[in-house]
Structure 1
Amino acid sequence: MNTLKFTKMHGLGNDFMVVDGIRQAFDTTAAPISSWANRHTGIGFDQLLLIEPAQTPAGDFRYRIFNADGSEVEQCGNGARCFVRFVTEKGLTAKHEIVVETAGGIIVPRLNDNGSITVDMGKPALAAEKIPFKPVSDVDAHALMHTIVVGLESIPVSCVNMGNPHAVIVVDDVDLAPVATLGEAIESHPQFPQKVNVGFMQVLSPNHIKLRVFERGVGETQACGTGACAAVVAGIRLGVLDDVAPVEVDLRGGRLTITWQNDDSSHVLMTGPAATVFEGEVAY
């Protein structure tokens, strides 16, 4: 039997079991991640974050993400901020700007002087094959909006990949949106071969939105960093948000600030908090 040390953390209520895989061994294939994620009988979390040594000379660390159902995914924005807090508090680095390898590509998070964390999430991917998304026709491959048929409804969505796939829906009132039912239906829709995260966005002003996100393999979370990035990118491309000033994104767990200029070379910048909750050990 193995004993594993971990840290419970959260970014705006999106919570994580964070594991140092540099100073201790961790066998992900043997770990009962979905059992640990259970909020009644386990540790309780949305994702498990694993910190490992970098695999390239340019990287400082490698960062892996496992959903509550045990599936490994490409990217997690709130997790990236917790990652920075963790490696700093644990003395794994003295750097304030860190180059991190993820399955979704390189990200560069930065610890700010005021304690907030800004993550360079890279450039959004917008083409259908990059989401990935199967459009009805080749003409629709680069469309700003796509129509997804769910039952008897035709749902307009904007597709963005922020290291992981997102479908963004603009709604009149996010509090009344059918996040659980429609989110689950679109998450596993056959036009999304790797499933998809589903964001429900209410536009309050050109620089302020409310957002709820149904995350694949998890369900609705209190906050989703990549979801906030995807929603702002979608909103700017649709012309309902402004790219001159940062956009404030109000999630159920709190606020993120997202910056993106609407051009092919612009990176998405996400700023927000991260906090440690407690330390623990678990046997497996």
Structure 2
Amino acid sequence: MSLPFAKYQGLGNDFILIDNRHQSELALSPEQAVHWCDRHRGIGADGVIFLLPGTSDTDYQMRMYNGDGSVAEMCGNGIRCLAKFILDLERKDGQTQYRIDTLAGLMIPELQGDGQVKVNMGPPQLLAAEIPTTLAAPDQKVICQSLEVAGQVWPVTCVGMGNPHCVTFVEDGVAIPLHDLGPQFEHHPAFPQRTNTEFVEVVRPDYLKMWVWERGAGATLACGTGACATLVAAVLEGRGATQATVELPGGCLDIAWDQQANTLWMTGPATFVFRGEI
């Protein structure tokens, strides 16, 4: 039996979207998701996102496999793509905002008139137990903590965005051997659920450049939750402003941290690529 899908991308972070509203079980197994994400033998993507029926207080549910078949709690670029996918599926005039249940909690993407998607990403998790990491006591924050990776000590700040992030500020991000260091950070014993890792240059307090190694996906062109974690880490370390442009290899995201409401806002593009059946 063939299964229809759509391909979307946000700043080059690309996803296979599947309308899964007709059943409660996911249409693909983790092993099938790995095959579909294979860029040589399948469709090619950083992950597979499933659109499921909503709960009592949400419009839809979002579930996702990373490219390696592991479960992703949330994905910033992915939820923007999902919002565009819903719009293209339903074609409801006037509805621009969706309440979406994710494994990281409620997310509310809103389609903007200029084609951008703005997402209420909720509060960052700052305590070690929430992230999770063993780099500090469970009820403590992890700010500028020393972490030894590849024979070098890295000062890191850790932030949870429904998924774990380890942020380290560097002088030259281009010079970072991402494919060598990324897996070592991801699988470091200090991160019991593995981690996403961001290497960040501060161009100005309101302009950050970020390179990312994503848990379960590897080096990607963009990571929305990573951009949010990067801004939070920059603020916590006194390096950045509460509103900034975060430049990633695939393009730029606008991130704002409303500290009074303790809410992060992410704004960026999401683009349809093609549809098919496999």
Length-normalised TM-score, structure 2: 0.95
User: For the structure 1 residues 23 and 187, does the alpha-carbon distance in structure 2 shift closer, same or farther, using more than 3 Å as the test?
Assistant: same
Q: Does 1:7 align with 2:6?
A: yes
- The corresponding residue for 2:89 is 90
In structure 2, the CA distance between the partners of 1:140 and 1:173, relative to structure 1 (3 Å rule), is farther
Q: Which amino acid aligns with 2:21?
A: I
Partner of 1:52: 52
| Equivalent residue, structure 2, for 1:181 | 180
| Structure 2 gaps, min length 5 | none
Instruction: Within 5 Å, give how 1:1-284 maps onto structure 2.
Output: 2-23=1-22, 26-29=26-29, 32-55=32-55, 57-91=56-90, 94=93, 95-135=95-135, 138=137, 141-243=140-242, 246-263=243-260, 265-282=261-278
* Pairwise CA distance, 1:27: 3.1
CA distance in 2, matches of 1:64, 1:131: 20
C-alpha distance after superposition, 1:92-150 (max 9, x if no partner) = 75521111000011111100111110000000000000000012x53993242222122
Aligned residues of 2:30 and 2:70 also touching (Cα < 8 A) = no
3-state SS of 1:36 partner: helix
Q: Deviations over 1:136-187 (max 9, x none)?
A: x539932422221224221111100111110001011111112211111010
Shift of 1:30: 7.2
Q: Relative to structure 2, which stretch is displaced further, 229-238 or 143-152?
A: 143-152
- Percent of aligned pairs sharing the same letter: 39
Cα distance change on mapping 1:167 and 1:274 into 2, 3 Å: same
CA-to-aligned-CA distance 1:15-63 (integer Å, 9 cap, x gap): 00000001477533376111111111110000100000013x1100000
Question: Matched residue of 2:122: which SS?
Answer: coil
CA distance in 2, matches of 1:46, 1:11: 11
SS state of the match for residue 278, structure 1?
strand
CA distance change for structure 1 residues 170 and 48 in 2, over 3 Å: closer, same or farther? Answer: same
Once residues 155 and 259 of structure 2 are traced to their aligned partners in structure 1, the CA distance between those partners, rounded to angstroms, is: 21
Letter in 2 for 1:206: P
Checking the alignment, whether the CA contact within 8 Å between 1:14 and 1:46 is kept in structure 2 is yes
Output the amino acid matched with 1:271.
Answer: T
Mean alpha-carbon deviation: is it higher for 124-133 or for 19-28? 19-28
The two structures, once aligned, show a CA RMSD in angstroms of 1.7
TM-score normalised to the size of structure 1? 0.93
Assess if the C-alpha contact under 8 Å between 1:54 and 1:60 holds in 2. yes
Tell me the SS of whatever aligns to 2:192. coil
- Structure 1 stretch displaced more, 137-146 or 80-89: 137-146
Contact 2:227 2:246 in 1 (8 A): yes
Give the count of matched residue pairs: 276
Q: Where do 5+ consecutive residues of structure 1 fail to align?
A: none
Distance 1:129 1:43 in 2: 37
- Say if 1:171 and 1:186 are closer, same or farther in 2 by CA, change over 3 A: same
State the secondary structure of the residue aligned to 1:260: strand
Task: Tell me if structure 2 keeps the 8 A contact 1:20–1:52.
Answer: yes
